[in-house]
Structure 1
């Protein structure tokens, strides 16, 4: 799964800039470990579940609860970390997130009952939500505009790499008691993240918002180099902060702004894409594919190897999507790849009908699974974190984007707590065909409602929204 691109609050880049200081890349590389932990801790449960379900004697519903606990924690951790980072700064919150990651990993490894494991996974969820909300913002507010896109993509790729690493570790440590090591090993990168963040600078934008202009100039000097006009950049950030002061204040004013007729089309697009990113089935496969394959007669070893393949496809899809969103366009990428995503899911569902475990059936199922992961990952999962901050107007971008993020986590939770039960009640093929149909419905939604935002400024998008042309056939960039 891919992580959110924050709203565009960049200052204008200056030509002729010298080589960027190494500290700049240290900021992105070290903080992006939060993405690695995000991906690892959400992905490792699929491999660990095979053995821990036996050791702890979990029912189908209890397995769903164990998987879902981290998502409940993420729904809490994301908004809480937003409040804390606004009050105390981005860097201290990321340090705290690292500590929670380490504590949750060790608690998961030591759990001796379902309730203890659920509590530990809830704790990990707080860290996952905090990382997904704070790390991209920290990178975006720290790096210069010329590097912002590629360094935020680094965070997104680290999420995919974390998921791949979780499948590799799960395959290597499969066996009785191995799940404890799977969970516990995540404490190591968490400690590296915590130690690495301590010497890094605070977000200059947060410092300016707090009126600490002198400290902001000093940190920007470290991040930009001696030839950069630090005072001018601080002044530009100050101007942007003044623009932000025009946003509605207070809960009532924010809710009134969100209900404005001209805002509704953009809010519908943001919430719809967030919901469909989960309803199309990606995390049902990420969380449960090894379990479903094992129970379908593929054997634990084959199921875990398939999990490694899923991790590889997630990384490949992440790279493809990151390159394509700016070259192909958000809307066009969805319209091109969603039919292939739905078709692959449908083929996988129909292939399970044949039964018998023949070689043809096995290869068809695994091939369709990998194709689905690639097509959905390179389209929906690449676009979902970009659409909301691009289409939502400045005055409500913060609270509206948080609403879209909460919607995503909520539907992720819905899938996690219903996937295995749906398979048990209705069967594997009907469940997969339902996900395939959701890909089709998403395609219709994109065709009718989602505008192309590639190559357009945020101001141009907002002007179109105010003019009532927030539709799929809105004018395209030249």
Structure 2
């Protein structure tokens, strides 16, 4: 896990360059936040539903018993639980942005293992990592969106996460229904890496949550973040509780 942390830190250092790239092209922060929350919700929904359409193929290929079949399904759910359980302390210590980047790194590795077709062990490990990713995303992406969206748009933006989950589930079932007979099962399961890539691109182009920065006692960083997000006036007018952020 140490090398994953180093990779996240390296990408974090480069994210200012990426954020400046998009800022110079006048991409509104709300567009990036919407991209983040929709792609995050879609990743969640697709990840939990995609195995349903290819489970019979996996069972036949690896000659799984009923308990083995349940384990293939359940290992992702276990990862989701662990990721969601750890999301609070991780995001409080690392920040919302780096936690989402960590989720993308774990999910990217997991889906790569699935796509590589490394046998049953690779499938189980890949789904475990994808589960950790989904658990982290399910908690931290809506949290980040709520903390970085103007008050008048906050409810609508955060509610898009739930809609995107259902779209992800629909997309997973639709993909397996349409392509299960003609596309390798690894591709159908590993396609979750596509919306996850949008999660990473969006969060790299956005600043850290001002609330988290305020909890860390960094007023200069808070000012930069609120200016980028268009929250400067709102932040000055609204008392923000930062304890335990």
State TM-score, norm by structure 2: 0.82
Paired residue secondary structure (2:217) = coil
Structure 1 gaps of 5+ residues are: 1-20, 246-397, 399-478
Which whole-Å CA distance do the structure 2 matches of 1:198 and 1:131 have between them? Answer: 15
Q: Distance in 1 between matches of 2:182 and 2:33?
A: 39
Q: Deviations over 1:110-152 (max 9, x none)?
A: 3443333222111111101101111111011111222221111
1:219 aligns with 225
Name stretches of at least 5 consecutive residues in structure 2 with no aligned partner. Answer: 1-26
Residue 37 of structure 1 and its aligned partner are, at CA, apart by 0.7
Farther-moved stretch of structure 1 (26-35 vs 43-52): 26-35
Q: Are 1:232 and 2:237 an aligned pair?
A: yes
Match among 120, 123, 126 for residue 126 of structure 2: 120
Question: Partners of 1:166 and 1:126 in 2: how far apart?
Answer: 19
Q: How many residues align?
A: 219
RMSD: 2.1
Aligned to 1:22: 28
Q: Aligned equivalents of 1:72 and 1:102: distance in 2? A: 18
Post-superposition Cα deviations, 1:172-207, rounded to whole Å, max 9, x if no partner, equal 221276211102222222222212211201111111
Report which of the two structures shows the higher radius of gyration computed on alpha carbons: 1
CA distance 1:129–1:229, change in 2 (3 Å): closer
Indicate if the aligned counterparts of 2:80 and 2:135 stay in contact, CA closer than 8 A.
yes
Query: Per-residue CA shift, 1:277-324, capped at 9, x if unaligned?
Result: xxxxxxxxxxxxxxxxxxxxxxxxxxxxxxxxxxxxxxxxxxxxxxxx
Question: Which residue of the partner structure matches residue 91 of structure 1?
Answer: 97
Q: 1:73 aligns with which of 72, 79, 87?
A: 79
In the alignment, is residue 48 of structure 1 matched against residue 54 of structure 2?
yes
Q: Deviations over 1:220-278 (max 9, x none)?
A: 1222267x354334xx11xx23xx47xxxxxxxxxxxxxxxxxxxxxxxxxxxxxxxxx
CA distance in 2, matches of 1:32, 1:91: 16
In the alignment, which residue of structure 2 is the partner of 1:200?
206
Q: Specify which structure has the higher proportion of helix.
A: 2
CA contact (8 A) 1:51 1:175 kept: no
Aligned residue in 1 for 2:137: 131
